[in-house]
Every structure is written in C-alpha cells, then in structure tokens.
C-alpha cells in the first residue's frame, strides 16, 4: 500500500506538502503540486478511507437499515429497487453503503450503536418496525436519518404517494363503470392506513357506498391470505364487480381463486394490483396496477440524507412524496351503466 509518506520520500518533500497538494489546497506551488500529483498517480496512490475517517470524524459511509422480519424484505421488488437506486446515487455522491443491524459478532448492540461503531455519517431506514424502540432511538439520535414510507417528527422522510395512488385507482375503476368495489388491504401499517383512508374518501367523493364486508384484511406479499379474502368476497350475496389487491404479488392468490371458481378476468371480475412490479406487466391479461416509483424513492432518500450530512446548518426536515402512475392493463372491464 502506497501512503503519503512513500510519495513524500519519492518527491523529496514533506508528507504535509503531499497531503495539501493532493487535496488541492491553495498554498502549494502550482509546479510542485502538479509534480506531486503525477508521482502519486504513477505510484498508484489511493487515499486510505479509514485513516481519513478517523481524522475527519466522517466516514463517507452511510448505513442502510433493512430488516427482513418476514424474511421477504429484500425479496420484495419494491425494496430491492429502492436499495439499488439508493446505492447508485450514494456512490455517485461519493458515499459507500453498509448494512446496519443489531448483533454484530459477540457485541450485542442496537442500531444506534452499530451506526456509531461504524462511524456512519447517516442512515436510511426502510422496511422495519418503526415502533421498535431501537429504531426510535436511532431516529432521535444526533445521526442524520431518512425514513422511507414513515414519518417521524422533525425528520426527513421519503413517502410513496399512497393516498394519491389509491385515489387514482378508485377513480379509474369508477370511470370504467364500477360501483361495487372491494378492497383487500395489507396488515396494519401506516401505509395501509393511508390507503384505506384514501379508499373510503375517494369512494365517498364519488358517491359510492362501500359495504363493510367489501373491505377485508390480508397480508402483503402473501397470495394465500389474499386468496382467502377473495373467496370470502365471492361468497357474498352481492358480489363486488372489482377487487383491489394489497399488491401485485398477492394478487396471484386471487387469480388462482378466481380461476378455480371458473371466473375469468376481467369478464367475470375486474382486479387491480399495487406496486407495478415486473410480474404485473407480464401476466396475461396484463394487470392494471399503480406503479410506485421505487427508483426515485431510493435516489431521493440518498440525496436528501447526504445533503443533510454535508450541510447540517442549513438543513431543515423535509417530507418528500414521490408520486407514481397508474399502469393500465387489461384486468378491469369497462361496464356500461
């Protein structure tokens, strides 16, 4: 490994001079600086991030908190897409990305401690239990954080537009003549609450009456529970004409149930997903769904976090809502009224 010292010897100048030249400080002669830079390049010099971090107290490294509680965190395309764009943007801005967790080796530490231990300049928090005291401790600490799809007081967060998404879906379905719309939602999270609220609000605005039995619970990313909910809906005396699913993947459960009962999509039943993952676009009939712009969410999260890290004085917490778009497929039938 070639260090500043090696270069200083090679150049016949002091270590300090080399450091300044390489960092472009103005108090080094043009000529000397150029010479030093050329030698450094020739010798294949690379700064040592560790030494730098120790000296500067900042590591140019951000943490990512991504708990795989249901062991489907990363498996979910929504999150893996966020993770990827987050990584790309962070790297573009000169930051590396390290996973943060509890229990690293023998040490049992919480997220905050882990982040401190690694000298993370900031942490992006996604797909965790936001009620976890350890998560709260991290968020309330002095470490800059950005949360995804959840808001803490005086903290920056990037949110998918669940209210707008659900509104667009309901309106689209309404425009296609549907008045009996059922909604199978995911487990109780703030995301789910927003979607449910938006569902009811939009229905009310459109003058649609929603029987209680039309709104039922399932689990995200779990086709089985959505299949069950579908079966229940189909058993109602007055069947809905359209079913909204928690997400595209869960819809598979509904798809199976419908097929088993000999019902075809969209002729006998209209369906809508959520997420806009690859799968939704390759199913036939193509699934009508609402695409969440995960790529933008990850990118913004990284950019906002790094801005907060680099300009701590001028920083103010922000709530960024990333809008998505309705992807029209062929799973919603147009009903003449």
Given the rule CB under 8 A, which residues bind a copy of itself?
1, 46-51, 53-54, 59-61, 68, 71-75, 77, 80-81, 83-84, 87-88, 91-99, 101, 103-107, 109, 113, 116-119, 223-224, 249, 252-253, 255-256, 259-260, 278-279, 282-284
> Which CB atom, from 1 or from 282, has the smaller least distance to DNA?
1
> Which CB atom, from 59 or from 156, has the smaller least distance to a copy of itself?
59
The pair of structure tokens assigned to 12 is 């016949």
Q: Identify the CA nearest to 182 among candidates 205, 167, 203, 152.
A: 203
The interface partner of residue 83, options being a copy of itself, DNA, none and the CB cut-off 5 to 8 Å by kind, is: a copy of itself
How many beta carbons lie within 10 A of that of residue 2, not counting itself?
14
Q: Which of 41, 55, 311, 336 binds DNA (CB under 7 A)?
A: 55
Q: Which of 9, 14, 75, 190 binds DNA (CB under 7 A)?
A: 14
Q: Which of 33, 159, 272, 322 binds DNA (CB under 7 A)?
A: 33
Cα distance between residue 62 and residue 145, in whole Å: 10
Cα distance between residue 256 and residue 313, in whole Å: 55
| Binding of DNA by 20 (CB under 7 A) | yes
**Strands of 28-121, DSSP E:** 61-66, 96-100
- Chain-centroid distance of CA 123 in Å reads 13
Count of residues of this chain found to bind DNA when the rule CB under 7 A is applied: 31
> Which CB atom, from 68 or from 140, has the smaller least distance to a copy of itself?
68
The interface partner of residue 77, options being DNA, a copy of itself, none and the CB cut-off 5 to 8 Å by kind, is: a copy of itself
Segment lying near DNA (by CB under 7 A), choices 3-11, 192-200, 210-218, 221-229: 3-11
Cα distance between residue 209 and residue 116, in whole Å: 52
Asked whether 221 and 68 are in contact (CB, 8 A), the reply is no
| Binding of DNA by 271 (CB under 7 A) | no
Asked whether 277 and 248 are in contact (CB, 8 A), the reply is yes
The interface partner of residue 4, options being a copy of itself, DNA, none and the CB cut-off 5 to 8 Å by kind, is: DNA
The pair of structure tokens assigned to 108 is 């049992």
CA dihedral 63, 69, 74, 76 (to 10 degrees): -130
Segment lying near DNA (by CB under 7 A), choices 21-29, 98-106, 108-116, 229-237: 21-29
Integer angstrom CA distances of residue 111 from 83, 89, 289, 298: 18, 23, 35, 20
The pair of structure tokens assigned to 92 is 């573009």
The pair of structure tokens assigned to 246 is 């928690």
> Which CB atom, from 174 or from 251, has the smaller least distance to a copy of itself?
251
The interface partner of residue 121, options being a copy of itself, DNA, none and the CB cut-off 5 to 8 Å by kind, is: none
How many beta carbons lie within 10 A of that of residue 143, not counting itself?
17
Three-state secondary structure call for residue 336 = coil
CB of 37 to DNA, least distance (A): 12
The interface partner of residue 319, options being DNA, a copy of itself, none and the CB cut-off 5 to 8 Å by kind, is: none
149 φ/ψ angles, rounded to the nearest 5 degrees: 60, 30
Q: Which of 9, 16, 74, 236 binds DNA (CB under 7 A)?
A: 16
In the complex, the residues that contact DNA under the rule CB under 7 A are 1, 3-5, 12-17, 19-20, 22-23, 26-29, 31-33, 45-48, 51-52, 54-57
């Amino acid at each position: 490994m070639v260090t500043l010292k090696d270069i200083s010897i090679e150049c016949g100048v002091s270590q300090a001079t080399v450091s300044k030249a390489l960092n472009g400080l103005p108090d080094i002669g043009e000529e000397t600086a150029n010479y030093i830079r050329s030698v450094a390049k020739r010798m294949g010099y690379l700064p040592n991030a560790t030494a730098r971090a120790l000296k500067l107290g900042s590591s140019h490294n951000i943490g990512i908190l991504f708990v795989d509680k249901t062991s489907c965190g990363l498996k979910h395309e929504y999150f893996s897409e966020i993770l990827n764009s987050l990584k790309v943007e962070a790297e573009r801005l000169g930051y590396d990305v390290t996973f943060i967790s509890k229990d690293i080796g023998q040490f049992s530490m919480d997220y905050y401690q882990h982040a401190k231990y690694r000298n993370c300049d900031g942490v992006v928090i996604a797909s965790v239990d936001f009620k976890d005291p350890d998560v709260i401790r991290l968020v309330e600490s002095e470490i800059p954080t950005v949360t995804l799809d959840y808001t803490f007081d005086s903290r920056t967060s990037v949110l998918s537009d669940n209210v707008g998404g659900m509104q667009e879906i309901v309106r689209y379905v309404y425009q296609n003549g549907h008045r009996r719309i059922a909604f199978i939602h995911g487990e109780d999270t703030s995301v789910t609450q927003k979607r449910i609220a938006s569902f009811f609000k939009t229905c009310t605005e459109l003058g649609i009456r929603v029987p209680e039995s039309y709104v039922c619970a399932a689990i995200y990313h779990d086709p089985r529970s959505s299949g069950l909910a579908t079966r229940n809906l189909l058993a109602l005396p007055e069947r809905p004409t359209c079913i909204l699913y928690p997400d595209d993947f869960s819809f598979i459960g509904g798809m199976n149930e419908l097929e088993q009962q000999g019902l075809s999509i969209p002729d006998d039943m209209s369906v809508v997903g959520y997420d806009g993952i690859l799968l939704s676009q390759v199913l036939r009939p193509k699934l009508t769904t609402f695409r969440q712009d995960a790529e933008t969410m990850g990118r913004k999260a990284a950019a906002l976090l790094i801005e907060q890290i680099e300009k701590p004085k001028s920083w103010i917490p922000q709530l960024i809502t990333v809008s998505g778009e309705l992807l029209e497929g062929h799973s919603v039938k147009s009903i003449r009224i």
